[in-house]
Amino acid sequence: MAIKHVVMFSGGIGSWATAKIVARRETTENLYLVFSDVKGFTDNPHIGEDEDTYRFVEEAAANIGGKLVILRDGRDIWQVFKDRNFLGNSRLAHCSFELKQKPARKWLEENCNPEETVVYVGIDWTETHRLPAIVKNYKPWVAKAPLTEPPYIDKEQWIELANKEGLKTPRLYDLGFSHNNCGGGCVRAGQGQFKKLYEIMPERFKVWEEKEQEVREHIGKDVSILTEMVKGEKRPLPLSELRRRIEDQPAVIDEYDIGGCGCFFEEDERKNES
């Protein structure tokens, strides 16, 4: 019985490293690299994945071997928020469920027998606490995370190893971003992450600001991606207000508040399907 090895291929260094390990341990003959694209049908370069992600995904797949599978729902994150009447945030990100998890799950159901398939995700040893939920949510498929096992290698070391193999890593890493998701933005990101986006890619920040406002008006509520605590009360912090603070009072922004992002790793949101 030939076992299929399916790597959830996000376009980041962690998924490349995971796939490299699987390719070395197993075989590339039945290795599948599943990339779920969140760009939708828009031609706006500031919506969805960073344009360099597509270059990296293709070159990384060639470097690893195996079969690259590209999935597209057809919507971008902003359309998902309008469809759901809910603006994604650190608490709940329907975008990752609708555009990443759901298409990947559908592909697994249509192409992979759970008894003959192992699924791999790119969390590393610093995120081991996520593994039990991941294993549970991928059932009936077996899910593994090779980067949580010894030897414990960090992201910077994997980037160095990729470069040594002649693989140019995603440009967002070189620009100082901690991940390569959604073009440097993310509804799970923090104030510091969006400050970096504003400073390095102001045009992209402007699109995020405008799209957030569109969704706010569509929903008809004072909601936002970010929140803040004011006198013990959590309040919305729209990107338009964050931009004003960055411009007028940059010192008040916590640059270490980058938030967290993990589209394939979060709690199963199937219960939230409408």
- 203-251 pLDDT, tens digit per residue, is 999 999 999 999 999 999 999 999 998 999 999 999 999 999 999 988 8
| Contact between residue 252 and residue 245 where contact means Cβ atoms under 8 Å apart | yes
Both tokens assigned to 110? 């249509």
CB within 8 Å of 76: residues ≥ 6 apart: 38, 39, 40, 42, 47, 48, 99
191-200 and 202-219 helices cross at what angle (nearest 10)?
A: 130
Read off the pLDDT of residues 77-119 as tens digits, 9 standing for 90 and up.
999 999 999 999 988 999 999 999 999 999 999 999 999 999 9
Model confidence at 270, in pLDDT bands (50, 70, 90)? Answer: very low
Mean pLDDT confidence for 60-85: 97
Burial of residue 202 (number of CB atoms within 10 Å: 0-12, 13-18, 19+): exposed
Global pTM?
Answer: 0.91
Cα torsion 97, 98, 103, 106: sign: positive
Given this model, what pLDDT does residue 267 score? Answer: 47
Does pLDDT of 268 surpass 70? no
Q: Provide the 3-class DSSP secondary structure of residue 20.
A: helix
Both tokens assigned to 161? 């190893």
Given this model, what pLDDT does residue 262 score? Answer: 53
Does pLDDT of 257 surpass 90? no
**Which residue has 């070395």 as its token pair?**
24
